[in-house]
Structure 1
Amino acid sequence: MKAEPERIVYVVDDDAAMRDSLAWLIGSLGLKVEAFASAEDFLAALRPGRPGCLVTDVRMPGMSGLELQDALANTESLLSVVVITGHADVPMAVRALRSGAVDFIEKPFNDQMLLDRVNAALARSFTTYDDRARRADLEARLSRLTARERQVAERVVEGRPSKAIAAELNLSLKTVEVHRHNIMEKLEVASVAELTRLFIDAA
């Protein structure tokens, strides 16, 4: 089984003292931390498809934290975002949360509260990562089927007996049974119930 990626937190803040403080605080959880002075530097180093947490300030020279959040959304990033700022207002918070941020935190903030939000963000990111990996596995398994096997499988899942499937697809009963055997083998399932669950999960 593929090993789960390392849990990592990215910190983006143009204030060097705040950046170092956040990196130290989050690193105290035993998490790997990578810190960047600008959104542009972070995007240049970003590895797409990797789960993790992004902690970003809102107001920075160049691209803002909210603009960074929008840029990540356009890449279908798996990162969960925690936005921090010393200049919060309601519209800004609403925009960040509607864009998918886990939380919007005002400075000065309680250290434990930030750590709790980071852990929540990581949990959400890795849940999304696991879901995508599981769906990719299901799609890869289904792609092993021929067009005819897919037709037979769909009818098996609908609860139709082999004789009815044979009549509908103009096949011999023996051919349908061979297809059923190959379907179970290719999809690595041992029962019609497992086959049905696979099709439901892949829908």
Structure 2
Amino acid sequence: MRHPASSSEPPSVVFVVDDDPSVRESIRSLLRSVGHSVQVFDTAQAFMVGERIDAPGCLILDVRLPGSSGLEFQRELAGSGISIPIVFITGHGDIPMSVAAMKAGALEFLTKPFRDQDLLDAVHRGIELDRSRRAELAMLAELRERFATLTPREQEIMALVAAGQMNKQIAGELQLSEVTVKVHRAQVMRKMQAKSLPDLVRIADRLGAGTARH
């Protein structure tokens, strides 16, 4: 089964980090045969300092690397704030290593020799996950931009509305008239591009969760 990107999707890229030239070339050839862009590196350091395509992607990482293990590099990526789905490959895999990789967030752990289709399926899942993550971050950034256009009073009222308070309650708490609250509330709905009260609550929840994560 082929998984090339559709014309409506932004381009994607697969990174391969493996110190074995024959493995790198074999994987690059396989991935290119189904339409993926591929960048290969012989060491983890080369990946970190090299110029990488900024696009939805996936990292195929050998567990055994010169200098440090793939698991150590996985931790280094997380510590550097580089978030990318990782597919581990190894010729020396064991259960504890696999469990450690998966617990640390690895997408898949394939032991050589693996089926080409298993690798392609894992890569496709990784790219889709990264595409979704990037879309979520872009949407969150857009919501934050909208929120920044609200006045301090509008931000205050948005929080109270999202918390389930009625106009009368908000008016009493902020010592405003109900008419004034309604005007501010309408401005909040317009600026945040909320189609309904449930929509505004969802937006407030996403902003709250996004702030908590960052």
- Normalised to the residue count of structure 1, the TM-score between the two structures is 0.88
- Cα 1:48–1:172 change in 2 (3 A) is farther
Partner residue in 1 for 2:167 = 162
Partner residue in 2 for 1:9 = 14
Q: How many residues align?
A: 201
Cα drift, residue 202 of structure 1: 2.6
Give unmatched runs, 5+ long, in structure 1: none
Partner residue in 2 for 1:129 = 134
Equivalent position amino acid for 2:141 in 1? A
Whole-Å Cα distance in 2 between the matches of residues 78 and 178 of structure 1?
42
Cα drift, residue 47 of structure 1: 5.3
**Identity rate, percent:** 41
- Cα 1:33–1:48 change in 2 (3 A) is closer
Give unmatched runs, 5+ long, in structure 2: 1-7, 209-214
The yes-or-no answer on 1:33 pairing with 2:46 is no
Cα drift, residue 43 of structure 1: 0.8
- Normalised to the residue count of structure 2, the TM-score between the two structures is 0.84
Cα drift, residue 114 of structure 1: 1.0
Partner residue in 1 for 2:108 = 103
* CA shift digits 1:16-74 (9 cap, x unpaired): 11111111111112010000111100011265975310001111212322121111111
The yes-or-no answer on 1:72 pairing with 2:62 is no
Runs of 4+ in 1 over 4 A off after TM superposition: 46-50
Whole-Å Cα distance in 2 between the matches of residues 196 and 138 of structure 1?
13
1:119 counterpart (117, 124, 131): 124
2:23 counterpart (9, 18, 35): 18
Q: Secondary structure at the match of 2:85?
A: strand
* CA shift digits 1:106-144 (9 cap, x unpaired): 111111111111111112222222222222222222222
- Cα 1:134–1:5 change in 2 (3 A) is same
Whole-Å Cα distance in 2 between the matches of residues 140 and 57 of structure 1?
40
The alignment yields a C-alpha RMSD, in angstroms, of 2.1
Equivalent position amino acid for 1:137 in 2? E
Q: Secondary structure at the match of 1:200?
A: helix
